[in-house]
Structure 1
């Protein structure tokens, strides 16, 4: 399994438009972050988690020409706004793209991208989707690969993380319940968010992310969904435990 970090930034990305903070002005490529998403290549099955407004750019820069499924964590724009850019995959394969999400998220997408979900008088240039409603802790399969959706609390909003064998991807976490902790035993790699050093009402700060990592106890952990307020990539990494790393755009894990 290979995991491609398509983006590791928060909702505004880094640099932020009009922001002259030192991190936003950094010339280190690891401090430049598109909106958070990953692509998983699991024995040739390609699965994307989230498609924010940078989705097209992200697919182009890793030269990814096939996609078997798209999973959504939740409905916020930085995780969904690129849905229309699945069009090339639909056209190349001449079939609908399987998408997996909670009912609430699907309903949100149907409102915002009504032309994609239209069943009559469809615009011929619109992408087509194959809808799969999923629920936390109820496994589903993609090309015979088993995926476990996990419940994550994004403030008061219940969203999804995902586990694939010994790899798990959680973003926009604030709190986790015992069932989710129990579903995360024996991980080789955990990905989890840390927005900044200061407290935030709906996202982990660094201290909270490290608490979750210690409790879950993966062999390695990578931090994503990072805001410029967290600091410079190279300086923050020096503060982390030896098995915890900051993810960065275009990082590839080979598991």
Structure 2
């Protein structure tokens, strides 16, 4: 299985239009810190590519990747930075006279329908509450705490024959022991960590910071961790002293599982 990071940014992306910080300034000049909203592309031999989340940067992400058509996607939750590209994708399907499949837990699909009730003209929306198969991989969503923003879903991938496991958890904080259980002993954990250290009251927060992400990694012991959903607080020019096996996700990064 190959994972390609189409975006690694938080809900605002980087640079932020209103911001004159050093990170946003660097992003405007050299582009090292440019971040589109978080999304990945999953590819498996013999299977159609699978998009995970479809934010408002969808069109640019498709153009950057040279992708002219996508047929299916998973959604983590119905916040705009994760579903804002659905309308453009649906319009592309209309022009190509195709119907794409969108998989998500029922409560996520119901929120999408409330926001964009016309999408089902071009999408077949299917519940994946009980999981789904993707080649030899079993994909299972589970609900996680998203702090002040309510809830999100993370996704667990397990190969039926080899037992290899990895997980994508972009929008979560203060996971309970039960919510942490699927993160145990993974080959790869993709974890959202918006700040290096977020010094705001916990009741105002919605995503782990990098220091908390490191503690979670120590607890769950994944072989490799990639931090995504990064805000303009994170500067790729800085050395954060991350331990071996832990790194920042980058646009265009490819990882084979």
TM-score, length of structure 2 as denominator length: 0.86
Evaluate the alpha carbon distance shift between residue 28 and residue 224 of structure 1 in structure 2; reply closer, same or farther with a 3 A threshold.
Answer: farther
Whether 1:80 and 2:63 are equivalent positions in the alignment is no
Cα deviation, 1:189-215, whole Å, max 9, x if unaligned, reads 110011111245211112111121221
Query: Quick one: which of 132, 145, 170 aligns to 1:140?
Result: 132
Do the aligned partners of 2:145 and 2:172 also contact (CA within 8 Å) in 1?
yes
Query: Quick one: which of 209, 213, 216 aligns to 1:209?
Result: 213
Separation (CA, whole Å) in 1 of partners of 2:39 and 2:254:
13
- Which aligned pairs between 1:1-255 and structure 2 lie closer than 5 A? 1-26=1-26, 27-43=29-45, 44-87=47-90, 90=93, 94-117=97-120, 128-135=122-129, 138-142=130-134, 145-155=137-147, 157-165=150-158, 166-196=165-195, 197-200=197-200, 201-230=205-234, 232-235=235-238, 237-255=239-257
Which moved further from structure 2: 13-22 or 37-46? 37-46
Unpaired segments of 5 or more residues in structure 2? 159-164
Cα deviation, 1:160-205, whole Å, max 9, x if unaligned, reads 1112222211111112232332222331111001111124521111
Separation (CA, whole Å) in 1 of partners of 2:82 and 2:133:
22
Segments of 4+ in structure 1 off by > 6 A? none
Separation (CA, whole Å) in 2 of partners of 1:99 and 1:14:
27
SS at match of 1:151: strand
Do the aligned partners of 1:223 and 1:247 also contact (CA within 8 Å) in 2?
yes
Cα deviation, 1:126-172, whole Å, max 9, x if unaligned, reads x511111233xx32124564211122210152321112222211111
The equivalent residue for 2:161 is none
Do the aligned partners of 1:31 and 1:233 also contact (CA within 8 Å) in 2?
yes
* Superposition deviation, residue 97 in structure 1: 1.4
Do the aligned partners of 2:145 and 2:151 also contact (CA within 8 Å) in 1?
yes
SS at match of 2:25: coil
Do the aligned partners of 1:45 and 1:143 also contact (CA within 8 Å) in 2?
no
* Superposition deviation, residue 72 in structure 1: 0.8
Separation (CA, whole Å) in 2 of partners of 1:30 and 1:161:
28
TM-score, length of structure 1 as denominator length: 0.87
Separation (CA, whole Å) in 1 of partners of 2:42 and 2:145:
23
Separation (CA, whole Å) in 1 of partners of 2:141 and 2:84:
21
Cα deviation, 1:200-248, whole Å, max 9, x if unaligned, reads 5211112111121221211110000011123x1131x442111110111
